[in-house]
Amino acid sequence: MPSHNIDMLHGPTLGKLLVFALPLIASGVLQQSFNSADVAVAGRWAGSEALAAVGSNGPVISLIVNLFVGISVGANVVIARLLGQDDKARVRRAVSTTAAVAVAGGLLLLVIGLAVSRPILEWLDTPPEVLDLATLYLRIYSLGFPFMMIYNFGSAILRSFGDTRRPFYCLVAGGIINVALNLLLVIVFGMGVSGVAIATVVSNMVSASMIVMILLREQGPARLDMQAMRTDRRILARILQIGVPAGIQGVVFSISNVFILGAINSLGAKVLAGSAAALNYEYYCYFIISAFAQSAMAFISQNYGAGQYSRCRRIFAQCMMLSLAGSAVFNIGFCLDTPFFAGIFTTDPDVLVYAGERMRYVLFFQFIASSYEIAGAAMRGLGYSMTPTVLTIVGTCILRIAWLHTACAGATSFSTIMIIYPISWAVTGIAVLTAYFIVARRAYAGGDPFTTPHPAAHRATP
């Protein structure tokens, strides 16, 4: 096995989970740092309106891309499952299918992004003083969607083999270019919001190009053969069966955040800017949860395919423990000095007040989200994707929208909007955890219907 891959099927799991997850956490933190650099450069050198224009696009971009990001989850699960079965021929076909989906999805997102930029921002009641800047940013940003999809799907392929380090290196290279171009285009050439967006597009191009080069040069079933690229219908169907529900969850989740963004927009540009500044720290901490969720999904997928069910149970427990502890430390740590951390993104005293308010009401309690994220990822690793999707949509998305139309109806305060986040996390966590224990019992009793039974099926491992 190549040194950059992790053997998920043998030996102790705790250390391997950490080795797998740490590059994912670093990738997320690094990526968000580069995104935060966009926000910080816009806020400090182009003004509060530019800060609001860049920050307000986060939920919109998530809304546009989340379906295909979810489909990459399906690719990760399917390839990992086939690796657990040691089915190299179908692994190769799955890699080829994943690459085709990445290209097609990226081109589709490019068209959508260019077409809906201004209408969706107008629908969200983006403050008039930032609407033109926000539209410009989103249209330029959309040019990078194809490269973003290629990087995400390429990373999913490598993660299936236990390789999280090389996608991280690709991200580092792209991110360094992003920061350098931010400083050059915004500070030196005064390009403002357009300079921030151009820097992001170029960085996505670099990261995608590097991930493609890795896959073209890879040895074994992970190698991408451009001349032999074809789509396997059965594998595509299985990728979509697992990935589309995950993507729909992400889309609907983003829709609920878009509704919340609309409510924040109605409170004015200062509130919007403060919320955008605080949101950066939620992203930072969420990457800890996401990393262990991806770890749970990849490790459980391979071990479930190999019939090693006791390892699956152990992996779930360890990922839950690591996610809760890791995210709680950083959630609370950032909230100990909100003026300092929010002040990195803005010097406006009014904006600082709203940033601190969001950090106290939302960021402080974010570790609760581990409950449904880890449980949902474990269910997807077992091949059950629709169950966590439905429960998460009801527990977070529908509940949040209902809150906006009841508790937040009419004149409302920023804190009233924010308090729904920890409430929805707790409700969803209880529901998804309950479902996980029911689904896991069924899955371990019935085996994996997608793959050929493995000789080790139903074998208990230490």
DSSP 249: H
Cβ-based burial of 392 (10 A; exposed 0-12, middle 13-18, buried ≥19): buried
pLDDT at 170 (0 to 100): 93
Q: What is the pLDDT of residue 259?
A: 83
pTM higher than 0.85 for the full model? no
* pLDDT at residue 191, as a whole number: 81
Q: Please state, in angstroms and rounded to a whole number, the distance separating the CA atoms of residues 169 and 171.
A: 5
Tokens of 250: 């992400």
Alpha-carbon span 400 to 423, nearest angstrom: 9
pLDDT at position 3, please? 58
Can you tell me which residue has the tokens 């994912």? 24
pLDDT computed for residue 44 by the predictor: 62
Q: Which residues of the chain are modeled with pLDDT < 70?
A: 1-3, 34-36, 38-40, 42-49, 51, 53, 55-56, 59, 410-411, 447-462
The pLDDT value given to residue 456: 40
Phi/psi region, residue 87 (left: phi>0; alpha: psi -120 to 50; beta: rest), is beta
Using the structure block, give the residue that is written with the tokens 């690094």: 30
Long-range contacts of 450-457 (CB under 8 A, 24+ apart): 450/78, 450/81, 450/238, 450/383, 451/81, 451/82, 451/84, 451/85, 451/87, 451/305, 452/85, 452/87, 453/307, 454/84, 454/85, 454/86, 454/305, 454/306, 454/307, 456/306, 456/307, 456/308, 457/306, 457/307
* Cα 54 to Cα 197: distance, rounded to the nearest angstrom: 9
Q: Rounded to an integer, what distance in angstroms lies between the CA atom of residue 28 and that of residue 291?
A: 8
pLDDT at residue 432 in the model: 96
4 secondary structure, DSSP code: T
Work out the widest C-alpha separation in the chain, in whole angstroms: 65
- Measure the CA–CA gap between 287 and 21, rounded to whole angstroms: 10
Q: How many CA atoms lie within 13 Å of 59's alpha carbon, on the beta-carbon side?
A: 25
